[in-house]
Every structure is written in structure tokens, then in C-alpha cells.
Structure 1
Amino acid sequence: MVALRDWLAVYLKGVAMGCADAVPGVSGGTIALIVGVYERLIAAITTVSPERIRRVLAGVRPRNLPDARAAFLEVDGAFLAVLGAGIATAIVTVLRLVDHLLETLPVPTFGFFFGLIAASAVVLYGEVDLSTRDRKAAAAGGFLLAFLTSGYASSALGAGSYPVLFVAGAVAVSAMILPGISGSLLLIILGQYEYMSGALSAFVDALVGLAVGGEPARVTETAPPVLVFVAGALVGLFTVAHAVRRALERDRAATLAFLVSLIVGALRAPVAEVGRVLAETGGTWRAAAPEFALAAVGGALAVGLLDRYSGTIEY
């Protein structure tokens, strides 16, 4: 029987993964590698199927309980539940803080993100092999996709559009499975990060308010975008994540070159976001550059320390 302290360790590892996925930079998948749960996580997720989910849910009937328990064990359900609870705890907590910082200190916050992304790209590019034409083409494609999309997706796609949120959830969940790409980074590229951090904070506030006697209507008002995003994430577990894993199995080097190059191209996103903020507030880059640069150095140092004291970040 697994000891309580072992489950606490799994929960705390989930917290570490959630913190990584809540900010653009090092991904939750990378943290899973570092803390030693990556292989178990992949094994558990790839055994999840609609049929097994149906069997688990059928356990609400007493006669189906033995089969439901068997299906739960087949997908390593206890591990996924505890790890997922840790991830969710961290994401909710960190995104609430980020939402506050984006409202009060947008320039240094995006500067910190820039440093996280840049340092992650430097560390991870040491693991990428660009010795062939196909790999160089994949890298160029990843860079151009992220660079051309960053800064324009929010206005072109519409921040908070339900179809876009659904797709964003499906794409971002792959970052929890694959090391190297941050889910938050993908949300920034798609122009949905700031909106989702605010939407999740509002939903959590509504739930807390309901628990202390608030109005249920507030929960109903704030729930739709979060539920749409979560629904997209669940679909992504069965589509996007598996598709990327198949690509890794087919041509690992080219796929990794594409994924890591997304990070490099995405460096444009926080710069574009600061430009938008300055345009709205009447500020100038001349005045904002020092605090942006200082915060970027802080973000880069954070990744550097993680890489140094946790071993080389690798795939």
C-alpha cells in the first residue's frame, strides 16, 4: 500500500508542474522529467480511452463497481488524480497572481516572460540536431509559425471566442505531456493567455463567493469560458497530444526542432504585448525598456538556476 507521504510527494510534483505551465517558459513536461514522473505520466495518459472512462463512470452503480475499480487501476487513476490536483492547485494560484501582475505591472511581467522564454530556448536548443535539410526546414517552419502568429492572434482570432478557447485548450494540454513547450507560451502565441488568466481568476472568485454565501448566478456567468477551455483540453488528450507523440516517434529530431523553434519565434509575443500596453497607456519603449530588460534578466536567471540545480533540461 502506498504511504501517505508518497502521495504527498506526487502532489507536490504536480504543483511544480503546474507552476511551470502557468507561466511561459519551461514546460510542465520538462518538470515531469526533472522530478522523475514523466514516463509514468505518459504511460497513464496513453492508456486513457473513452471506453475506460465509461467503465469508471459506470461505477456509480454498485454492480459495476468491481469493473470500475479495474478500469481505474488500468489508467493509474490514483496517480493521475493526485498529480492533477497538484497541477490544478498551482495553475489556479499562479494565474491569479499573474492576472494581478498583468493589471498592475504589465511591462516587467512580460519582460520576465521574455527572459523565461529566451533562456528556455537557449537551454533546449542544445538538445536539437539541425544537421539535415529536413530538420532545418522543420525549425524554420516552427519559428515562422510562432513569429508570424505572435502579436496578431488576439485581434485576428478574438480573445475569448469559444471556438478559439476550445482549440487553445486542446493545443495547450500537449505542453503538459511534452517537455520543452509551455502551455502558457502557446496561449500567448494564440493571444489567449491574458484573457484566460482573468477568466480563471473570476471563476475561482465566484466559487469562493458561493461557498461563503454568494450568488450562484456569478458562477454561471464566469463558468462558460473555463468549461470550454477544459473541454478542449480533454479532447486534446485524445488528439493533439497523441498526434505529436506519433510525430516524435516517426521523426523525433525534426519534430523537436519544430517544437523548440516555436519557442524562439514566440519571443515576439511578449514584446508585442508590451507594445500594445504602451500604445493604450501612452507610454514609450524608451521609458519602459529598462524595467523590461531587468525583468527579462530575472526570468533568464530563474531558468538558468533550474537548469543548473536540476541537471540539464532535456527531452
Structure 2
Amino acid sequence: MGYSVDERLVERLSMFRIYAYGLCMGTADALPGVSGGTIALLLGFYGRLIAAITSITPTRIWTVLNGVRPGNRNSAREALLEIDVGFLLPLGLGAVTAVALIASAVASLAESHPVALFGFFTGLIGASAIVLYRELRVRTRTDVLVAIAGVSLALLIAANVLELPGSGAITIVFAGALAISAMILPGVSGSLILILLGQYVFLSGELSAFLSGIAGLAGGGSLEAVLDPGTTVVLFVAGGLVGLLSVARIVRAALDRHRNTTLIFLVSLIAGSTPAPLHNIGETHTWTTDTIVLAAVWTVVGAIALFALDRLVGGFDPE
């Protein structure tokens, strides 16, 4: 028996609402300092998001892939329902749309106005650490040591004292695993992880180039313009899938067993990451008085924007 017109309209409106959720979540994760997981909490779909993501297992993925055989289609359909693909697909499309749009803007601003861009990001990150710390209880000696460890680790990575293992493809896959895992955690932004690892501008540029290359194919552009940045995008997505099946589950288990301590560590990583965007400014500008003043002004603007958002939604809760 087919759907009625009313049922189809309700279903399409529901899909559009989930797509809009994805737009909001993707926008948040594309900007350091605001977490997509926090947006999911504020909009009321965080529980469904975590349930859907943790339902993705190698066994279910294999069952879906085997659905190409006629005899396995019922099993594949059941696996898709268990994964809640009707929710994840429009949500993912919305998030990808937002990330693609912002990546293009970031790639352009990183070249034309790097001091303003990264000063703004510094304010976002620093202010987010402040508002998130307000929700935590740092009482015991262990809490203090964990906070110091998180801040120190972030500072060492931002200063390139600690570097990622390997280079090239390995770095991209590793960054993808950590960033995608961070996207589902309240309080931690995927883009913040990329900034901390020194990959944010590079990956934004590659994604922008990939999308431009695809658009250019319609006008007779070269396939090479798509393949080169496309390889980077594929590696990042592959790392993201690995992260969802491994790193994200480890962090969720840590939150279940040691919630406050784990959150202190995560928020401390954010605090220690505050000066990370300033390294991008130092790569293109000498730290003159004018540069310092301009960066400081945009840092204040970023902080005000985050505090205003915090006030608007009634406070951010890291979990």
C-alpha cells in the first residue's frame, strides 16, 4: 500500500529538518571553538546521533555491501534500518554542504586576510574553553594533573615540539580519524583538532580545489585538477571512517567510565590550543605592532561572538 500525499509531505519535511540539522552541525564543526556535538545537544538529536554512529559496525557494513545480491537484500535493508540511514544520510549531506561552503571561504580568507581570520579563530577557541570550564568540576589533585596534561599536550603539538607520526597520506588519514571523532563530542570541534595538527588551512584548500575541479569539468577542465585534491579528500574521509569505528568508541567509553576526568582533559586540550591559530599568522606576517593590534582586535571579536552565542543558547554543556 502506497504512501498518502500527507505522509509523503511529512516525510519530506522530516528529511529537510534533519538536513537543516546537518547544516547547523557542519557549520559549527567547520569553525574552531564551536562543537557540532554541542549543536546536536542544543537541537535535541545528540542521543539519536550517538546511537546511529555506534550502530555502524564492520558486520553491518559488510551486510549492506552484500545487498547487491538479490538473496541478501532483506538483510541489507534491515542493517540499513539498524544504522538509521534515514537519519544519518540527510544529516551527513547537510554537514558536508556546510563544511564545503565554509572551506571555500576559509581558503580564500587565509590568503587575503589571514590576520583577521586566525585572530578571530583564536578568540573563538579561548572563549569556548572558558565557557566549557565553567561547567566542569576541577577539585581533586587528579583533576588538576589531567588539566595540566591536556593543556601541555596541546601547547607542545601547536608549537611543533610533538609532531604527527609519518607524513603525507599517513598524516591526512590520522588527522581525519581524530577530527571526525571530535565532531561527535560535545565541546570539541573537528576543525580545532585540524588547527592543532596544522592541517586546517591545507585541508580547507584541498576541499575547495576539489569542488572547483568538479565544477570545472563541466566547462572542459582537466581531470587532474580533480584527482590531485580528490586523493586528499578520499584519504581524509577514509581516516574519518576509521575514527568513527575506533577512536570515537574509545572516547565514548572513557566518558561513560570517567566522565568528569575525560571532559577535563578534552576541554584542557581546547584551552591549550588557543594560541595555535597564531602560528598561521606568523607563517605569513612579521609580528609588527600593527599585526599584533589587528590580531588582538579580531581575537576580541571572536571571543565576543562565542560569549554571545553562549548567552543566546543559555550556556554550553560539554556533555
Q: Of 181, 184, 191, which aligns to 1:177?
A: 184
Counterpart-to-counterpart distance in 1, 2:51 and 2:171: 29
SS of the aligned residue for 1:171 comes to helix
Counterpart-to-counterpart distance in 2, 1:112 and 1:54: 44
Counterpart amino acid of residue 39 in structure 1: G
**Which residue of 1 is the match for residue 153 of structure 2?**
145
Spell out structure 1 runs of 4+ moving beyond 4 A.
156-160
State whether residues 147 and 266 of structure 1, in contact with CA within 8 Å, keep that contact through their aligned partners in structure 2.
Answer: yes
Kindly state the Cα deviation for residue 284 of structure 1 after the two structures are TM-superposed: 2.9
Provide the TM-score with structure 1 as the length reference: 0.94
Provide the TM-score with structure 2 as the length reference: 0.93
How many equivalent residue pairs? 310
Counterpart-to-counterpart distance in 1, 2:203 and 2:289: 30
State whether residues 159 and 192 of structure 1, in contact with CA within 8 Å, keep that contact through their aligned partners in structure 2.
Answer: no
**Which residue of 2 is the match for residue 260 of structure 1?**
267
Counterpart amino acid of residue 311 in structure 2: R
Counterpart-to-counterpart distance in 2, 1:18 and 1:248: 23
**Which residue of 1 is the match for residue 119 of structure 2?**
111
Q: C-alpha deviations, 1:29-69, integer Å up to 9, x for none? A: 11111111111000000111011111112222333222111
The 1:55/1:147 distance shift into structure 2, 3 A limit, reads same
Q: C-alpha deviations, 1:263-282, integer Å up to 9, x for none? A: 1100121122222221xxxx
Q: Of 52, 62, 78, which aligns to 1:70?
A: 78
Kindly state the Cα deviation for residue 200 of structure 1 after the two structures are TM-superposed: 0.8
**Which residue of 2 is the match for residue 86 of structure 1?**
94
Q: Of 307, 310, 315, which aligns to 1:312?
A: 315
Aligned counterparts, 1:282-301, within 5 A: 283-301=286-304
Kindly state the Cα deviation for residue 305 of structure 1 after the two structures are TM-superposed: 2.1
Counterpart-to-counterpart distance in 1, 2:257 and 2:177: 22
Identity level (%): 48
Moved more, 269-278 or 162-171: 269-278
State whether residues 166 and 228 of structure 1, in contact with CA within 8 Å, keep that contact through their aligned partners in structure 2.
Answer: yes
Where does structure 2 lack aligned partners over 5 or more consecutive residues? 1-6
Counterpart amino acid of residue 216 in structure 1: L
Please say if 1:58 is aligned against 2:66: yes
State whether residues 151 and 268 of structure 1, in contact with CA within 8 Å, keep that contact through their aligned partners in structure 2.
Answer: no
**Which residue of 2 is the match for residue 127 of structure 1?**
135
Moved more, 60-69 or 138-147: 60-69
Q: C-alpha deviations, 1:258-310, integer Å up to 9, x for none? A: 000001100121122222221xxxx3331112221221122112212221222
Counterpart amino acid of residue 288 in structure 1: T
The 1:76/1:170 distance shift into structure 2, 3 A limit, reads same
Q: C-alpha deviations, 1:170-212, integer Å up to 9, x for none? A: 0111122111111111111111111111111111111111234
**Which residue of 1 is the match for residue 253 of structure 2?**
246
**Which residue of 1 is the match for residue 210 of structure 2?**
203
Counterpart-to-counterpart distance in 1, 2:265 and 2:14: 37
**Which residue of 1 is the match for residue 4 of structure 2?**
none
Counterpart-to-counterpart distance in 1, 2:230 and 2:166: 16
Counterpart-to-counterpart distance in 1, 2:159 and 2:27: 24
Kindly state the Cα deviation for residue 151 of structure 1 after the two structures are TM-superposed: 3.3
Moved more, 116-125 or 50-59: 50-59
**Which residue of 1 is the match for residue 221 of structure 2?**
214
The 1:18/1:30 distance shift into structure 2, 3 A limit, reads same
Kindly state the Cα deviation for residue 146 of structure 1 after the two structures are TM-superposed: 0.2
Q: C-alpha deviations, 1:112-171, integer Å up to 9, x for none? A: 0011001101110011111111111111110000011103279x5599711111110001
Where does structure 1 lack aligned partners over 5 or more consecutive residues? none
SS of the aligned residue for 2:314 comes to coil
State whether residues 37 and 183 of structure 2, in contact with CA within 8 Å, keep that contact through their aligned partners in structure 1.
Answer: yes
Counterpart amino acid of residue 129 in structure 2: A
Counterpart-to-counterpart distance in 2, 1:158 and 1:237: 20
Counterpart-to-counterpart distance in 2, 1:39 and 1:197: 29
The 1:153/1:208 distance shift into structure 2, 3 A limit, reads farther
